């Protein structure tokens, strides 16, 4: 994708064949000229007015091709910052593709690349890079929590926070530069504290923001919660019960589940990926040994686990990592009148006794990991985390330069480097190849 293209692009903005109404967008200097020969009443097209009419042209076939509503946005007052025409037609796959084919017959119009409309919004200063990325997050949001976070970022939350960091650092630069201007005169150097306080303040907030990534990642991938335990303890029964469907095979034979099965479900507005695993024991046959290996892998990837024990099975013969959050479930309580003490939940998959308590406990684990963020901002992008880490390292360098009294030139240079790294988040200093990579990850039409 060329970042500097200023030609006219066209694409279907709704998934083809989705029925209902489809929207085709044309953006660029020739957007209006491209629709003119096809539209019944082009003279009525005025900025920001939806005009009903129909599409007719020999290239579209005989007679009326379709009824349509055309809306024209005059640049720069459009989402891309360019002249933009939106054509709403009926949503059939043939209709959409045929119209697109005919639009790109015009020599000045070509098919849009992935994410190119959003790229143009960014290049024309309509949105910063963090908001452009939020568009992709909004589209991919699987649950209410991910949606809320994408909306927060789309409304400029991350940008505002990053700008407040930059503002504080620029203020230090102003002080230092004033000092440099008067360095040949007898003036007092700025007290260390005046320079250090803002650096430390920004540094602390940056660290907190980096920490939100742990939760932000879960907003994207869901919370991974394997059900672990000895064979026959009722893991698959519990998996089915929590999902509300008979997904995993349940039998009275120990060693029934040999491969892991996973299924996501929405819980407390978040996606929880529940994983049914093979019962862990010193197993005989190869398939079961492999299954036990996978159960152990799941433990290493888990956000927290549900460990199941039962009166008629051996205790789990595996030491779990000490820092792993665990919900200890004693299942088959219907079989045991005097259960041992010390479990979090006493459950019967058969009678559902204890199920509500277990759900509440899962809820509190999810909410416990959930994080209010820094000024409401949670980062979920690896790219943002990486840039913030490098920014943090640069702030450490500033801090050292101030403490070691290295001199105003050194401090100023470290601050400028820190500002450059920060600019990568909003796109001010992001290299073109990274921009290409980000926008190529969007779908065509966005
Ligand atoms: N009485 C009683 N039986 C249960 C309960 N939960 C599960 N069972 C029975 O215990 C047996 C084993 O259940 P599963 O869910 O297959 O156990 P598992 O832990 O997945 O077993 P593996 O996949 O072999 O490791 C089945 O016969 C279930 O019907 C319960 O709460 N009460
Ligand atoms: Mg099982």
- The DSSP bridge partners found for residue 70 are 51, 87
Q: Is the distance from the beta carbon of residue 219 to the nearest atom of ligand 1 less than 6 Å?
A: no
pLDDT for the residue 283: 66
Distance 295 CA to ligand 2 centre (A): 11
Choose one of 250, 280, 329 to mutate for the ligand 1 pocket test, by most ligand atoms within 8 angstroms of C-beta: 250
Ligand 1: atom nearest CA of 240 is 15
pLDDT for the residue 435: 79
Angle between helices 192-221 and 144-154 (to 10 degrees): 140
411 exposure class (CB count in 10 Å sphere: 0-12, 13-18, 19+): buried
3-state secondary structure of 88: strand
Q: Record the pTM.
A: 0.73
Q: Is the distance from the beta carbon of residue 232 to the nearest atom of ligand 1 less than 6 Å?
A: yes
Protein residue closest via CA to atom 3 of ligand 1 = 332
User: What are the residue ranges spanned by the domains of the chain?
Assistant: 8-127, 138-218+381-427, 224-369
Of 3.40.190.10, 3.30.1360.120, 3.40.50.2300, 2.40.50.140, the CATH number of 8-127 is 3.30.1360.120
Of 3.40.50.2300, 3.20.20.70, 1.20.120.430, 3.30.950.10, the CATH number of 138-218+381-427 is 1.20.120.430
Q: Does domain 224-369 have CATH number 3.40.50.300?
A: yes
Q: pLDDT tens across 390-401, in order?
A: 999 999 999 999
CA distances 141 to 49, 145, 147, 425, Å, are 31, 8, 5, 21
Protein residue closest via CA to atom 1 of ligand 1 = 332
10-residue mean pLDDT series, the chain (446 residues): 69 71 94 95 95 95 94 95 95 90 91 89 89 84 89 89 94 82 60 85 95 89 93 96 92 87 89 92 73 86 95 87 93 94 97 96 84 85 93 94 85 92 86 79 74
- The whole-angstrom separation of Cα 209 and Cα 213 is 7
């Amino acid at each position: 994708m060329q970042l500097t293209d200023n030609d006219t692009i066209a694409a279907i903005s709704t998934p083809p064949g989705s029925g209902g109404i489809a929207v085709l967008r044309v953006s660029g200097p020739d957007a209006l000229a491209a629709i003119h020969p096809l539209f019944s009443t082009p003279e009525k097209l005025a900025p920001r007015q939806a005009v009903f009419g129909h599409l007719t042209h020999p290239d579209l076939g005989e007679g009326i091709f379709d009824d349509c509503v055309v809306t024209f946005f005059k640049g720069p007052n459009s989402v891309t910052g360019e002249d933009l025409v939106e054509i709403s037609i009926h949503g059939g796959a043939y209709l959409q593709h045929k119209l697109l084919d005919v639009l790109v017959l015009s020599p000045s119009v070509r098919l849009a690349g992935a994410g190119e409309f959003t790229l143009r919004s960014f290049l024309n200063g309509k949105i910063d890079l963090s908001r452009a990325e939020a568009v992709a997050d909004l589209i991919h949001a699987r649950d209410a929590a991910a949606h809320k976070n994408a909306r927060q970022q789309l409304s400029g939350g991350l940008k505002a926070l990053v700008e407040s960091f930059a503002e504080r650092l620029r203020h230090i630069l102003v002080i230092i530069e004033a000092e440099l201007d008067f360095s040949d005169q007898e003036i007092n150097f700025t007290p260390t504290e005046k320079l250090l306080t803002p650096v430390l303040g920004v540094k602390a907030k940056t660290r907190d923001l980096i920490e939100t990534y742990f939760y932000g990642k879960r907003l994207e991938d869901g919370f991974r919660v394997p059900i672990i335990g000895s064979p026959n303890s009722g893991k698959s029964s519990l998996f089915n019960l929590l999902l509300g469907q008979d997904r995993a095979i349940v039998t009275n034979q120990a060693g029934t589940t040999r491969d892991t099965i996973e299924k996501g479900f929405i819980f407390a507005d978040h996606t929880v990926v529940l994983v049914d695993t093979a019962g862990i024991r010193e197993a005989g046959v190869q398939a079961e040994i492999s299954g036990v290996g996978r159960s152990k892998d799941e433990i290493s990837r888990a956000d927290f686990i549900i460990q199941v024990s039962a009166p008629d099975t051996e205790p789990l013969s595996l030491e779990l990592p000490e820092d792993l959050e665990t919900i200890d479930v004693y299942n088959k309580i219907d079989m045991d009148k005097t259960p041992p003490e010390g479990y979090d939940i006493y459950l019967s998959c058969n009678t559902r006794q204890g199920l509500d308590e277990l759900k509440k406990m899962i809820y509190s684990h999810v909410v416990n990991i959930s994080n209010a963020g820094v000024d409401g901002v949670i980062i979920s992008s690896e790219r943002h985390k990486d840039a913030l880490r490098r920014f943090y390292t640069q702030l450490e360098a500033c801090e050292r330069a101030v403490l070691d009294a290295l001199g105003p030139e050194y401090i100023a240079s470290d601050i400028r480097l820190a500002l450059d790294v920060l600019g990568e988040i909003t796109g001010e200093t992001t290299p073109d190849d990274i921009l290409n990579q980000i926008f190529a990850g969007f779908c065509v039409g966005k």
